[in-house]
Structure 1
């Protein structure tokens, strides 16, 4: 390859023959573009990531060498006499010879250290800047550069660890080799003498801070290939530490010194190669430097890298599963190496020893012994490497010891566990002794997550429960969590630990609920298995989970009574959230239907805490006070239903009479007794049962204001709505009550006004009096802020409502303007799902248990979506009587109760419902949404 590059350079870069800088720049651009395109072709043909980055580095080497030689010739022509020595030195990633297509190019111009005559280098610096740096910048390359003498380089390295690190990878590109040899020798001396221990500690601190910035997990839905956990930087950091501590430059040398096993070396290099290839593809197909595997690039990147599954989602899942698998291996192995290098003696500490000798010396320290293991401080190690050969059940018991004694496995024991996994045979997995230890782990309330997490990290959990292993690195493209099923499951168990141990009021509430069950810690096993059906796909995974879990429970020797509860929870673990997300909780029929589903208070309590842990385990930010209120309301309503049964004859009437008497006794200012009685006569009973007295009083006063406006205004003025805003700080939402004359299409007009004002609707409660006065309550938030703090937004809503209701103005053009602003913005929200991979759905059906026609919609959210949906429902002859609006990470999940506005028989209504479904599907379908919206 080098010969080919040189031939191409001789042909395309005859810089000495090009008289003007413009011509030299053009030649450099052509050479760089053609060579990069040829390398891109090799990448597309499947060339390895390392080969590509080295080829790109070689192109820059040739280019810089030709520019450097021309600059030196120019200096000689302009400054007769002896020219100062100077080297062009590659540093950083370029110094490693690993340039990705959009990587920064870091170079150092190195001068000798001779006395104090620093100014004599200035003319050379000016020419090098003019003939090299300006051309590189004009080519559009990002160049980091410095001019340093050898002494200055080390002086800056002492002050800045980043400079010191960059010098570790210094590589000669152009200039007298003797100067670079002098620098190299000085650099080696500097590395050995400049406190290697402090450098290692600083690198470890930097690693910890960087990983914390990326949530200390490989499994982010949009991982950073370079700086993320398990990314390229983890690998590179090990090489820097090894260079300083041991004086070696290659990862293979770590294997030679027994710091890496052959298997670890293979895993590490394969992972690094994979990440480099992914990064190269990302850079080749981006207009700017980026290392983020964002949701929108994942499908195309997977396709280009050869993932040829038929469905887009399947391609992305397969690609990301490979990514997570490789990144996880890099993270695990580099953590082991960091530990080993931190323990190792420095290169200049004599005599030089291998890591095995270091380990033996530590084992001679005073320790306690337990079941073939050694306890040293808070760490557990092994006494003999045959510990698992002697008794394979120890592969489970070792984690129980750690849990009971609050110990952690040392890195060498972790490595021995991984290499001993084949000893977890079918016989051991089915043994009563092993299953007893595993059950004990799950029964230790409050400390299960660290233990299961450690078992998973070592590969034991998946080996012991092979059905669960299929969740490892399994990406799920659901609307609220698009990351691996194994990590999500463990996160739910961490949440349950907090339920048992945290003093935060939110967790205390669920602890009290859980302690009312007969076996609170049974929920650990339920959570461990609740998503096991996803190994067969997202669709119908709850029922599939029951099928998969049944033999596991028998193998674990779980009692039949407990098996029944566990399988019930697995089958129905999504139902509680589904009910409160989609149904009207003020409707007693919702409570009755849910009570019939969950069967008894014990299952209700388990399901309530499970739903909380499941949601929080997806992402803590997805559980907010508003959702907790809905969840708690459904729990308490259903528990009350079990404890007292449905209201007997006259039960609601008695409660209604109490509310009426209370309101009449208060003598509401400005509201007559006749108005109160009329309010009770004109509204259904459930309004009063599920509305607080203070809110009823507010509605009475608003109705009074509306009726007075009839006498005080003209006909048009009487159409103006009465609006009231109430901030609920506890739930971080704003309730907007709107009282107005009911009219066709009221809901979509109000929804449009909220859209134009830039407010998000969470839910809506819609009711009308028999005298056609509508009392609608919308629960809204200001994006990113919760309660509506913007007075401008409130005024915009009120002005647009008046325009829509009084002037009959169509607000859709204003909504489109808002959408256009967002479309033109470069700030696309992170985490927005792709339409090509997100399954938009519409369900229109009659729910017999609720006696309601229901519309359920799941679609990518966009400005004006709710307006279009609700207007389409109106246009097809239906009124919206209840709405639950929910938006998560760019996905709208909306439920509407609808009633026909015209009398008709059942077959006619069914036909119109089918037409409505088709119309709504056209709105949310990726293929037709563009035409519908614009």
Structure 2
């Protein structure tokens, strides 16, 4: 693809010397020389690879040099193998016209771009069909290459066959497009190239572009359809090497360019764009070479463990607020982003060129589409363009205006306008940033009613967004090194804005009914959009990003033209954007103190409305599957109870009224079995009636009455609980110490993850425990076989039919890659979060049956667990327990609390996991 000069070539491999050695071996050993020849070639291959690996370690960013070096090494070996085969193995003095053989490198090898473990893609071109000599030579060469351990992709065809297949198959057409002469009959190769251009390329340009782009879109979809996925595929992912190759293939097919540099000559790239093309390609090739060296195989996925090791190999250092791996990945995503913007400009130019060609021929020859004028801009074919090359230089505020108009008028940006915006983005200085008109335009774009997400993404790709809002520029392409966040910070933020727009348009009413209602009740929709833009703006600076982000908001909002009250509300939302999700997922929402504390922070209905909306889009924009009906239900409960408390200044009903109201509702649900409410009301106690939802109480009463009537020592009921997107597991058993951890162990053994647990004891000494359970992918167990497996597993655990600890340790971790991350166990005690209980929160690396181990430790420390709330953030688990001591009292600070903390940290530690796994 590009002519990269390989320095000191003979230090990699000296072909003449190697060929001389082989001639000597043949002279000495005759027909028995082959094993010696293979050994000699293998030594040359290993020496060459070692030399290239050494060079990569010395110059870890030299991607072109490394990839070109490996192609050079294979070239020389293929030439020597060919010469050995035709000279010593199958010599033919008078070859016929059919007995001609050319060796052509195709694919990545054809581009002279090979990572250390890349396949060797070769096409053998023969002069005629089925010639014995050609078949023998090809076979001899292939066996020799396989003996060297090379992975060879090969085909043997005549020129006619190759052209016929290229016409029918896009993959073969692309491979041949990159064909490069390696050795053999040069005239035969040249004939193939001439005919390929004449018979396959000419007249098929538009079809090739269409097919290639469809192939690219399908590949993107397969790889996650974002260039900001946190474990990207360097070769096939969006913004990866394959996207650069696609540009080259299209340019080569349409304009017959022979090297990427020639894309400048045909007007598809400016010199500056070509330089950034080369920089991105060089970096991505270097990363791919490091991946191959480290894994010893064809590995193109930049997994978390590889990210850390490659960052080290490429000499990235830590900076305040940013680890070395985060800095490395930020540069990776900046290059991927650049590939994206180059692709956009390039393809739009191709479109223009096709359109120009069409206009010069046929019915519309000589007809020119007349554009319209929009505030001085040219608009034609649904695209907005600057009227002159100096348009932005004359007034840099136009760099914001053009994007605002594109959003408001539902227009695309003309490729030349994107190119100019990219080039001129550096004109945005403090004067432009403070310009009231520029800020008003930006706010109009941000809160646009059509598609602000798409246009903000263009603005970001062109570098204008980061220049106009420098704080946003700092989080551009910034990843967070964890398994929870799927996207870079800028991509997450722009997605959140897009989700907000969809919610406002009613497009997500099914998943977010509450937010869909609330967005139309807030006093300022501008607050909602600006808060979404700024909520993560201070990530990567060190310190609490919520606190630092609130300071940024206080500076930026007045600049955007927001009022003092809007500014204060945005700052409060940024400061507290995690408050609602943390409270809903980590606290007991039936505990009045939880609501009192939350309402004490929120203080107004307007704040609550905005916080509910921001929380929904923030969670959903984290990545696929992070929002589910369980989280929606929890957040909805918290919103409804808090809204009532704020509106009335108190809970609508006192404790007794609430219990009586619930009992009435349960009676109505039970119908003919309504008598159970009266019979069991006293035995279950007030805490039970307040904690459980009406539908669960109804089910619990029927199960409890049946268990007591039949004198069952153990009753386990499992059912799909659609309202919560989970499986409800109810266990009724004689209460005894350790019951909770054994039930948890049984659920874990059946493959379940507990997301919520409420533990009750009747006045007759029976435990009535309700668990909400999901499968490892966040879905519910709904099949009868799954529910039966859950029941059996819990029964086995409670009857001591299984030894829990070793069995649980052997269960595979849902995220085995969690080992890559540093997650030190942390234990927090909170005696203020509840009037009745001490709240213990344990943060630790997620692992098999963590909850079981923690619950067992609490039992061993003589604590009673009343409820448990389980949250996962990728590799990190946050498990919260509401506990008392055996006398029903809270814990006091001191030696006892210290001992509990020490025991919990040990239970959550990697050391214990390793010990159990090796037991």
CA contact (8 A) 2:322 2:540 kept: no
Q: Distance in 2 between matches of 1:241 and 1:270?
A: 20
CA contact (8 A) 1:840 1:858 kept: yes
Partner of residue 930, structure 1: 914
Secondary structure of residue in 1 paired with 2:756: strand
Partner of residue 773, structure 2: 780
Partner of residue 681, structure 1: 682
Secondary structure of residue in 2 paired with 1:758: coil
Equivalent position to 2:515, from 486, 510, 522: 510
Equivalent position to 1:104, from 119, 124, 145: 119
Secondary structure of residue in 2 paired with 1:64: helix
Equivalent position to 1:317, from 323, 326, 342: 326
Structure 1 residue 455 displacement after superposition: 1.8
Structure 1 residue 752 displacement after superposition: 0.6
Q: Which stretch shows the higher mean deviation, 616-625 or 333-342?
A: 333-342
Note closer, same or farther for the CA distance 1:366–1:682 as it changes in structure 2 (3 Å cut): same
Q: Output one character per residue of 1:155-181: Cα deviation in whole Å (capped at 9) or x when no partner.
A: 111111221221122222221323223
Note closer, same or farther for the CA distance 1:174–1:477 as it changes in structure 2 (3 Å cut): closer
CA contact (8 A) 1:445 1:521 kept: no
Q: Which stretch shows the higher mean deviation, 335-344 or 762-771?
A: 335-344
Equivalent position to 1:815, from 805, 808, 811: 808
1:73 aligns with 2:87: yes
Gap regions ≥5 residues in structure 2: 1-7
Partner of residue 234, structure 1: 243
CA contact (8 A) 2:752 2:776 kept: yes
CA contact (8 A) 1:706 1:740 kept: no
Q: Output one character per residue of 1:253-282: Cα deviation in whole Å (capped at 9) or x when no partner.
A: 222344322211111101100000000000
TM-score by length of 2: 0.92
Structure 1 residue 479 displacement after superposition: 5.1
Q: Distance in 1 between matches of 2:637 and 2:389?
A: 56
Secondary structure of residue in 1 paired with 2:727: strand
Note closer, same or farther for the CA distance 1:432–1:65 as it changes in structure 2 (3 Å cut): same
Structure 1 residue 3 displacement after superposition: 4.0
Note closer, same or farther for the CA distance 1:208–1:806 as it changes in structure 2 (3 Å cut): closer
1:53 aligns with 2:56: no
Equivalent position to 1:204, from 207, 210, 213: 213
Partner of residue 919, structure 1: 903
Partner of residue 4, structure 2: none
CA contact (8 A) 1:530 1:573 kept: yes
Partner of residue 62, structure 1: 76
Structure 1 residue 416 displacement after superposition: 0.8
CA contact (8 A) 2:891 2:897 kept: no
Equivalent position to 2:630, from 626, 646, 653: 626
Equivalent position to 2:154, from 145, 160, 164: 145
CA contact (8 A) 1:721 1:740 kept: yes
Secondary structure of residue in 1 paired with 2:915: helix
Partner of residue 701, structure 1: 702
Q: Output one character per residue of 1:713-744: Cα deviation in whole Å (capped at 9) or x when no partner.
A: xxxxx6x3111122123433110111111111
Note closer, same or farther for the CA distance 1:374–1:901 as it changes in structure 2 (3 Å cut): same
Note closer, same or farther for the CA distance 1:362–1:791 as it changes in structure 2 (3 Å cut): farther
Q: Distance in 2 between matches of 1:349 and 1:182?
A: 31
Structure 1 residue 297 displacement after superposition: 1.3
The 5-angstrom pairing of residues 187-198 of structure 1 reads 187-190=196-199, 192-198=201-207
Q: Distance in 1 between matches of 2:428 and 2:668?
A: 75
CA contact (8 A) 2:719 2:782 kept: no
Structure 1 residue 560 displacement after superposition: 0.9
1:37 aligns with 2:50: yes
Q: Which stretch shows the higher mean deviation, 836-845 or 453-462?
A: 836-845
Partner of residue 876, structure 2: 891
Partner of residue 423, structure 1: 427
The 5-angstrom pairing of residues 778-857 of structure 1 reads 778-784=771-777, 786-807=779-800, 810-817=803-810, 819=811, 822=812, 829=815, 832-838=817-823, 840-848=825-833, 850-857=835-842
Equivalent position to 2:570, from 542, 561, 566: 566
Q: Output one character per residue of 1:413-449: Cα deviation in whole Å (capped at 9) or x when no partner.
A: 0111122223222112111221222222234345322
CA contact (8 A) 1:737 1:777 kept: yes
Q: Output one character per residue of 1:368-414: Cα deviation in whole Å (capped at 9) or x when no partner.
A: 11233101031101211121222222112112211221111111001
CA contact (8 A) 1:582 1:895 kept: yes
Q: Distance in 1 between matches of 2:148 and 2:483?
A: 43
Partner of residue 438, structure 2: 434
1:760 aligns with 2:753: yes
Note closer, same or farther for the CA distance 1:347–1:107 as it changes in structure 2 (3 Å cut): farther
Secondary structure of residue in 1 paired with 2:692: coil
Q: Which stretch shows the higher mean deviation, 888-897 or 379-388?
A: 888-897
Partner of residue 90, structure 1: 105
TM-score by length of 1: 0.90
Q: Distance in 2 between matches of 1:812 and 1:933?
A: 10
Q: Distance in 2 between matches of 1:363 and 1:555?
A: 47
Q: Distance in 2 between matches of 1:3 and 1:897?
A: 71
Equivalent position to 1:494, from 498, 510, 513: 498
Q: Output one character per residue of 1:898-923: Cα deviation in whole Å (capped at 9) or x when no partner.
A: 1112588965x532222222222233
Note closer, same or farther for the CA distance 1:662–1:586 as it changes in structure 2 (3 Å cut): closer
Q: Distance in 2 between matches of 1:275 and 1:439?
A: 36
Structure 1 residue 891 displacement after superposition: 3.4
Note closer, same or farther for the CA distance 1:386–1:873 as it changes in structure 2 (3 Å cut): same
CA contact (8 A) 1:103 1:289 kept: yes
Equivalent position to 1:863, from 848, 861, 864: 848
The 5-angstrom pairing of residues 550-589 of structure 1 reads 550-589=554-593
Equivalent position to 1:253, from 259, 262, 267: 262
Note closer, same or farther for the CA distance 1:407–1:347 as it changes in structure 2 (3 Å cut): closer
Q: Distance in 1 between matches of 2:533 and 2:842?
A: 30
Q: Distance in 1 between matches of 2:320 and 2:63?
A: 26
Secondary structure of residue in 1 paired with 2:325: helix
Count of equivalent residues: 898
Secondary structure of residue in 1 paired with 2:69: helix
1:528 aligns with 2:533: yes
Q: Distance in 1 between matches of 2:581 and 2:706?
A: 39
Secondary structure of residue in 1 paired with 2:418: helix
Secondary structure of residue in 1 paired with 2:235: coil
CA contact (8 A) 1:764 1:778 kept: yes
Structure 1 residue 214 displacement after superposition: 3.0
Note closer, same or farther for the CA distance 1:894–1:430 as it changes in structure 2 (3 Å cut): same
Q: Output one character per residue of 1:776-821: Cα deviation in whole Å (capped at 9) or x when no partner.
A: 001112334833235454444434433443448642232234x2xx
Q: Distance in 2 between matches of 1:439 and 1:310?
A: 33
Q: Output one character per residue of 1:176-204: Cα deviation in whole Å (capped at 9) or x when no partner.
A: 32322333333343355352232223223
CA contact (8 A) 2:446 2:452 kept: yes
Note closer, same or farther for the CA distance 1:664–1:430 as it changes in structure 2 (3 Å cut): closer
Q: Output one character per residue of 1:652-705: Cα deviation in whole Å (capped at 9) or x when no partner.
A: 32343455567679998789x6x7556332333242234344533433333334
Q: Distance in 1 between matches of 2:138 and 2:773?
A: 61
CA contact (8 A) 2:744 2:851 kept: yes
Q: Distance in 1 between matches of 2:188 and 2:671?
A: 94
Q: Distance in 1 between matches of 2:312 and 2:367?
A: 51
Structure 1 residue 80 displacement after superposition: 7.3
Q: Distance in 2 between matches of 1:545 and 1:788?
A: 40
Note closer, same or farther for the CA distance 1:841–1:835 as it changes in structure 2 (3 Å cut): farther
Q: Distance in 2 between matches of 1:696 and 1:240?
A: 65
Q: Distance in 1 between matches of 2:668 and 2:165?
A: 82
1:332 aligns with 2:332: no
Partner of residue 738, structure 1: 731
Q: Distance in 1 between matches of 2:565 and 2:320?
A: 41
1:636 aligns with 2:651: no
Q: Which stretch shows the higher mean deviation, 76-85 or 334-343?
A: 76-85
Partner of residue 461, structure 2: 457
Partner of residue 654, structure 2: 651
Note closer, same or farther for the CA distance 1:346–1:127 as it changes in structure 2 (3 Å cut): farther
